[in-house]
Structure 1
Amino acid sequence: MAVLTGVGVGLGVASGPVARMADPLPAPADEPSTRTPDEEKQRAHEALEAVARDLEQRGEHAGGTAQEVLEAQAMMAEDPSLADDIDDRIAGGKTAERAVHDAFATFQETLAAMGGYLGERAADLGDVAQRVLARLAGVSAPGVPDPGHPFVLVARDLSPADTALLDLDQVLAVVTTEGGPTSHTAILAREKSIVAVVGVAEAASLAEGQTVIVDAAAGAVTVDPTSDQVAEATARAEKRRTAAAAPATPGALKDGTAVPLLANLGKSDDAAAARDLGAEGVGLFRTEFLFLNSSEAPTVADQQATYEQLLAGFAGCKVVVRVLDAGADKPLAFLNDDVEENPALGLRGIRVLRAREQILRDQLTALAQADAATAARGEGADLWVMAPMVATVEETEYFTSLARELGIKTPGVMVEVPACALLADRILAVADFASIGTNDLTQYTLAADRLLGSVASLQDPWHPAVLRLVQEVGAAGRAAGKPVGICGEAAADPLLAVVLVGLGATSLSMAPSALADVRASLAEHTLDDARSIAEAALAADGAASARAAAQAAASQTAAA
């Protein structure tokens, strides 16, 4: 028996036989075409269009985040610059297959070199290329196997198209050799409640049909387990299913200390589904989707309609809206079209909004008007609005003053920059609340791009340096009598959620699918337990040892 380690997604556990994903199609031969250039161009364009339509159809079927991801892939397939590159290569005598292969490979290399969000999308582009090449060859694209029985899927990584449409009656769990907690495999697995462990490099050695236990809570894959281990995993899985089916209750610790569990949302249409999963409100509403597909900023009226839908969907609940967080990996030409060598440290977040203040004014106005309109109809929510990427007290004063001037009752800040965390006492003397974005806070604390695979091992919110900064903000919140929420991916980790509460977090916001696991984890510990577990993690020297120390401390408190 061997135990392989990786990054677990959620608390799930499953066991079964391995079925491996087929290897990618080989590179097409680099030989002269026997067709005319026009014939080859037509073949290439027809294949690109067919793949784009297929991805769109898969997205419509999948819905949710998966639809957004697949629609983005469809846009990749129809990118005009790619089509032009393919045509140029065909004009030079290449076959459609070779032209597609080389053009996509060049584009992938460019994206990978950019790092960040665009670098992470290089893998998505590779999947599109495979689908186009399969279409040209008249064969099925490499995809999820169908062994005729339930199985544990093992792959290098999963494409968004495959992950979105997994048959959950057949796929017991997913194990990938690549990817991290922010890969599309992890994001979609979390959304669909798929048991998954990603980044398990040694999983490449797993054989077809070999029995494994996939334990997402432990981030482990047990190879050739004993019958007792399989029985224990099966019992745990059944216990989780029973707990998930029970009516959702408000988030709370074992001693009754309330910890509101909120949802991270990207569209107002997702409100009903989040409430069905037990969300007590919204801890992060990302407004970027209103802006990203536009050549200019949306009008106040257009924004107001979206915000009214959101607030009505959570009438009577707290709703925290983040104003536009653009720049870095989400560039918008109408905000800032300057080329920056290091955009993650450039004009982004509140900085770019100050440079284009009318856009910020319009957004705050739309939010205030939506708040007033829904309240007048008896559909009002408790609207809080926060600014992204705040680094200084002066930026806090600027945002809160402008927000109040335009009718926002509860303005706050996101803590994503270490400077903001270290000045939290002064910042919370001005802002009404703070919400810690653990993804960016980890990135800037460890100087490790949060979407760059080569430094993924550093991008871990369990690192004691990150936890110390969270503790600073929690202490400042207690002293000022102001709430401190968590809205990064860290809140979706059930054990880390306990640690964050022990460090002073007063609410947790996450992907709705993670709510049940986090609710169950909090209910096992008192506030004193949470503080003890947090202290154990803080005393560690690194992320892995902090997680291990917290697990040991949690076991001790549970046994006491």
Structure 2
Amino acid sequence: TEEEQTDLYIKMLERAQGRRVCFRTLDVGGDKFLSSLDYPKEDNPFLGWRSIRVSLDLEEMFRQQIRAVIQAAEHGPAQLMFPMIVSMHELEVALSIVQEEKKRLESTCPLPVGIMLEVPGTVKILAKMLPLIDFVSIGTNDLIQYTLAVDRNNPKVASLYTPFHPAVLSLIQDASELCQKHQTPVSVCGEAAADPACAYLFLGLGIHSLSMNPSSIPEVKAMIRETNTKQAARAVKFALELNDSEAIKTWAQEQVRT
């Protein structure tokens, strides 16, 4: 229920002790399902009814979560993030719902709103989206999967799934440069952020905020402390000129070891 969500979010904010908490709206479908939802039979769930598409179709459920976050934000710094945004229409509808619910609740509490960037096509229209949002989180798991047309859970092709692919890094570079141009905070989340060699590349691409499992923090943190970000930025230009994923991976690992 809305009340249960609100109480849970408030507890999360209280545990954060003044640190900002990012609430992602319902992100199901693909390989994540809720037993309470009636999912259609799909040949490819990753290209089907998932994430923000579910929320916009089940609008009242979406509004309940939005109201819960808005009310919880009165108890600590919070931000709201929409997953799998692929069009201006989706973003504009989602943002209008947030504004409608804030007005309904008479809330004046700040609530930054951002998107997860997980689809190559979204990078191409990101410049149009940035004036409407407050931050961007690059979701590498899906971005890699959609860029390379590889199911990372399929052992037959899992070896083709790599964050070191030049196309993946080029998309992340484009997104980072656009965000810097618009002075919009940008971060990277997903398994790639927990890999020190990948994290080094991200630093060189101008991304200074990484999200990862707690167990991965010490190793990545140690790498960051030893890294000169300006030198990394110059070095990464060389990596982006390489044409092979393995060559880029080997190069990045050598930078981390030296």
The structure that is helix-richer by fraction is 2
Partner residue, 2:106: none
The match for 1:325 is 27
Q: d(CA) in 2 for partners of 1:485 and 1:387?
A: 14
Q: Against the structure 1 CA distance between its residues 414 and 336, is the aligned structure 2 distance closer, same or farther, given a 3 Å change threshold?
A: farther
Partner of 1:388: 83
Deviation at 1:406, TM superposition (A): 2.6
Q: List gaps (5 residues or longer) in structure 1.
A: 1-298, 375-379
Aligned to 2:113: 411
Do the aligned residues in 2 keep the contact of 1:336 with 1:352 (CA within 8 Å)?
no
What corresponds to 2:197 in structure 1? 495
Picking from 95, 116, 126, the partner of 1:400 is 95
- The whole-number CA distance in structure 1 between the counterparts of 2:161 and 2:177 is 24
CA distance in 2, matches of 1:500, 1:404: 33
**1:527 to 2:229 alignment:** yes
User: How far off its partner does 1:328 sit?
Assistant: 1.8
Q: Which residue of 2 aligns with 1:474?
A: 176
Q: Secondary structure at the match of 1:413?
A: strand
The residue aligned with 1:509 is 211
Equivalent-residue separation in structure 1 for 2:209 and 2:45 (angstroms) = 31
| One-letter code aligned to 1:386 | M
In the alignment, what sits opposite 1:345?
A: 47
Change in CA separation of 1:403 and 1:505 when aligned onto 2, cut-off 3 Å: farther
Supply the distance in 2 between the matched residues of 1:518 and 1:405 (Cα, whole angstroms): 41
2:59 alignment counterpart: 357
Instruction: State the Cα deviation string for residues 481-529 of structure 1 (Å, max 9, x = none).
Output: 0100111111111121121122122311100111111111011111212
d(CA) in 2 for partners of 1:406, 1:541: 48
Amino acid at match of 1:414: M
Q: Which residue of 1 aligns with 2:142?
A: 440
Q: Which has the higher strand share?
A: 1
What residue number does 2:188 align with? 486
CA distance in 2, matches of 1:475, 1:415: 14
CA contact (8 A) 2:84 2:118 kept: yes
1:336-382 per-residue CA deviation (whole Å, 9 max, x = no partner) reads 4211111110011111111101111000111111111x2xxxxx2x2
**Based on CA coordinates, which of the two structures has the bigger radius of gyration?**
1
How far is 1:554 from its partner?
A: 5.1
Question: Please, which of 315, 319, 322 is the counterpart of residue 17 of structure 2?
Answer: 315
**Counterpart contact for 2:189–2:212, Cα < 8 Å:** yes
Counterpart-to-counterpart distance in 2, 1:401 and 1:529: 42
Aligned mates of 1:440, 1:352 — CA distance in 2: 17
Query: Within 5 Å, which residues of 2 pair with 1:249-328?
Result: 299-328=1-30
**How many aligned residue pairs are there?**
251
TM-score of the pair, normalised by structure 2: 0.91
Instruction: Give the conservation status (yes or no) of the 8 Å contact 1:418–1:445.
Output: yes
SS in 2 for 1:486: strand
Inter-CA distance 522–500: structure 2 relative to 1 (3 Å threshold): same
Aligned to 1:421: 123
The question of whether the paired residues in 2 share the 8 Å contact of 1:483 and 1:506 is answered with: no
SS in 1 for 2:115: strand
The CA distance in 2 between the partners of 1:333 and 1:357, in whole Å, is 18
1:350, 1:389 within 8 Å by CA — same for their partners in 2?
yes
Q: Which residue of 2 aligns with 1:453?
A: 155
- Which of 537, 543, 548 lines up with 2:239 in the alignment? 537
Q: Which amino acid is the alignment partner of residue 543 of structure 1?
A: S
- Secondary structure at the counterpart of residue 50 of structure 2: coil
Secondary structure in 2 matching 1:395 = helix
Please tell me the root mean square deviation across aligned C-alpha atoms, in Å. Answer: 1.6
Residues 1:502 and 1:400: Cα distance change in structure 2 (over 3 Å): farther
How far apart in 2 are the matches of 1:537 and 1:308?
44
- The answer to whether the Cα contact below 8 Å between 1:446 and 1:459 also exists between their aligned partners in 2 is yes
Q: Give the secondary-structure state (helix, strand or coil) at the position aligned to 2:122.
A: helix
Q: Which amino acid counterpart does residue 101 of structure 2 have in structure 1?
A: L
CA distance in 1, matches of 2:204, 2:94: 29
Q: Which amino acid aligns with 1:357?
A: E
How far is the alpha carbon of 1:387 from its aligned partner?
Answer: 0.8
Whole-angstrom CA distance in 2 between matches of 1:395 and 1:506 = 28
Deviations 1:428-482 (A, max 9, x none): 1211111011000000000001211111111111111111111111011101101
For structure 2, which runs of at least 5 residues remain unmatched after alignment? 103-109
Q: Give the match's secondary structure for 1:465.
A: helix
Give distance in 2, aligned partners of 1:405 and 1:518.
41
Question: Aligned equivalents of 1:336 and 1:540: distance in 2?
Answer: 46
Q: How far, CA to CA, are the matches of 1:309 and 1:300 in structure 2?
A: 14
Q: Quick check: 1:533–1:554 contact (8 Å CA) kept in 2?
A: no
| Code of the aligned partner of 2:203 | V
- Distance in 1, Cα, partners of 2:135 & 2:67: 20
Q: Give the drift of 1:333.
A: 5.2
